[in-house]
Structure 1
Amino acid sequence: MNKNSPIGIFDSGVGGSSIWQEIHKHLPHEHTIYLADSKNAPYGNKSAEEITELSIKNTEKLLHLGAKLIVVACNTATTNAIVTLRQNYNIPIIGIEPAIKPAALKTVSKSIGILATKGTLSSALFSATTREFTKDISVVEIIGEGLVPLIEAGNLDGPEMISLLKKHTEPMISANVDYVVLGCSHYPYIIPQLKEILPKNVTIIDSGEAVARQTKTVLQSLDLLREEYTPPKLQFFTNAKTDTLKFLLKKYSEKISVENCDF
């Protein structure tokens, strides 16, 4: 590890690029390498053992590419595999968890919604976090069945997406939630659609900014912030088609490279 090494980021597909955007905003001079494991998406329907194996595979690839720090930009991988990763690799590893705590602290209606994958909602880490912060609060947990494949296909606002979002949010609206926590790094890409469907008083929270702040804090504490101010190398690798990543990151098209790579 040295200061000029890249930050490594992986997700079960393209969704974690929403986390990458926050990291790049907070750390604009850092080299980054992003792995989109779209071939195996979604992780949310897999067993804990499968999720851990995939997370190890991705971590090994990023280490091979020289990462100085790894961000697990996937809620399901974090909640199921981050303990194993931290036990087995001597490198800073940052995870992403649903932002339950801020929603629980700020709710006025004492009712919050959580939209996440089955793998996240059924994990031990998620259960422990929910128990800790929501003792006197009603929590509506919804599995976002079908959302990740649509986002992976770049279908953010078609009729199928809108129909699914209306179905998934109906129990939350009925329960008078005033905060909706997004528990999947793919979901920030459908915040505009969610805002159209949810009542105006509902606040949507995702974890991207918190992860970016933590990444910066850890690099500062280890004296690993990049000091060179030449343009950073911003690399994206996917083991599926590159189209959706290019679409989601089109405003960065002149700064990034997006390549197909088998991993």
Structure 2
Amino acid sequence: MANSAAIGIFDSGIGGLSVARAIRELLPNESLIYVADSGHAPYGEKADDYIYQRMLHITRHLTAAGVKAIVVACNTATTAAIAKLRAQYPLPIIGVEPGVKPAVLASKSGVVGVLATPRTLLTPAFATLAQRYANQAKVILQPCPQLVPLIEALDFSGNKMQALLQSYIQPLLAQGADTLVLGCTHYNFVADLIAGIAGPDVSIIRTEMAVARELQRRLAEAGLINTDLITPDLINKGTAKAAAIFYTSGNTDIFNTQLQCLWGSADLRVTDCKTLL
């Protein structure tokens, strides 16, 4: 496989763009192919088998495009079925999971709050993760069923967003949580709002850069790092050779608006792949 092959990244929507941005920052030489499965979102309301079938479908699309690695930039998809996906495909497949371990290590009160989609919190994989640290800290789970649609709508600072975050965060603080885990990649886009509500004494645990570093490690291990010289400055100027191509199974106009807000780079190209996905 050529070192110049792209990295495939997918999510149920735009949340995985936070992971893609971290990958772009850490690995500016790498071309990216991003798939937002917005036509089948949100995954948090779907059964595990449905999510797995979507993961298979998208992975077939990405492997047909010749990607050298895949990042499942969705906590729900990772906890629902990444093990089954890895059993099907030999290339590096990197997932994301809520950062419970670093949260437990960071907590001084011994109380950790996890903000995530209801589906993520119900999966056996997450139950195993939480149980692993049950003797070290009290882990409180907070389902956030209405948060992803607001983020997808780019409603970051309205009264509804503020009220919703208050309703999710305050019960955790009332129980003594001094560390909050963002258990959905979408939530990275409202991390500052969450931090503002939680206050300066509460740590916010995000995992997108940890995912990028794990991808870097896996690529290096397999000898797949692209060594062509491309700098972040070139990318910002839109003159980098490393491409960023974006697909959506939803409405292309909406996705374009989301990209301009959350990616905003001159090196992007959007493809409507509803007929493929």
Tell me the TM-score normalized by structure 2: 0.91
1:123 is aligned to 2:135 = no
Quote how far apart the aligned CAs of 1:134 are: 2.7
Distance 1:14 1:23 in 2: 15
Question: Alpha-carbon deviations, 1:204-240, whole Å to 9, x = none?
Answer: 1111011000000011011101122362011111122
**For residue 259 of structure 1, what is the aligned residue in structure 2?**
271
Q: 1:10-63: CA deviations, max 9, x gaps?
A: 000001000001111110000110001111111011111111111111111111
Specify the SS of the correspondent of 1:186: helix
**Residue 247 (str. 1) matches residue 261 (str. 2):** yes
1:235-262 deviation line (CA, Å, top 9, x unaligned): 1111223221221112x2x122233221
Cα distance in 2 for residues equivalent to 1:207 and 1:3: 26
Name the SS for the 2:247 alignment partner: strand
Alignment of 1:186-201 (within 5 A): 186-201=186-201
Q: Which residue of 2 aligns with 1:103?
A: 103
Gaps of 5+ in 1: none
CA distance in 1, matches of 2:273, 2:190: 27
The answer for the alignment partner of 1:148 in structure 2 is 148
CA contact (8 A) 1:179 1:202 kept: yes
**Residue among 215, 238, 248 paired with 1:238:** 248
8 Å CA contact retained: 2:101, 2:133:
yes
SS of 1:157 mapped into structure 2: coil
The amino acid of 1:235's aligned partner reads I
Partner SS for 2:224 = coil
* Cα contact 1:76–1:184 (8 A) shared by 2: yes
User: SS of the residue aligned with 1:119?
Assistant: helix
SS in structure 1 at match of 2:71: strand
Give the letter aligned to residue 241 of structure 2. Answer: P
| Partners of 1:69 and 1:53 in 2: CA distance | 19
Residues 32 and 235, structure 1, Cα contact 8 Å, conserved in 2: yes
Question: In 2, Cα distance between the equivalents of 1:88 and 1:122?
Answer: 24
Deviations 1:160-180 (A, max 9, x none): 111110111111110121110
The 8 Å contact of residues 116 and 142 in structure 1, kept in 2 or not, is answered as: yes
Matched, 1:44 2:44: yes
- Give the conservation status (yes or no) of the 8 Å contact 1:112–1:138: yes
Amino acid in structure 1 at the alignment position of 2:161: M
SS of the residue aligned with 1:34? strand
Asked whether the equivalents of residues 104 and 136 of structure 2 are also in contact (C-alpha less than 8 Å), the reply is no
Letter of the 2:30 counterpart: E
Pairwise CA distance, 1:182? 0.6
Paired residue total: 261
Q: Which residue of 2 aligns with 1:73?
A: 73
Structure 2: gaps spanning 5 or more residues? 230-239
Structure 1 residue ranges (4+ consecutive) displaced by more than 4 angstroms after TM superposition: none
Structure-2 residue corresponding to 1:62: 62
Give 3-state SS (helix, strand or coil) of 1:258's partner.
Answer: strand
Q: Distance in 2 between matches of 1:142 and 1:171?
A: 9
Verify the 8 A CA contact 2:115 2:141 in the aligned structure 1: yes
Contact kept, 8 Å, 1:38 with 1:152, in 2: the verdict is no
What is the alpha-carbon distance in structure 1 between the residues aligned to residue 172 and residue 101 of structure 2?
18
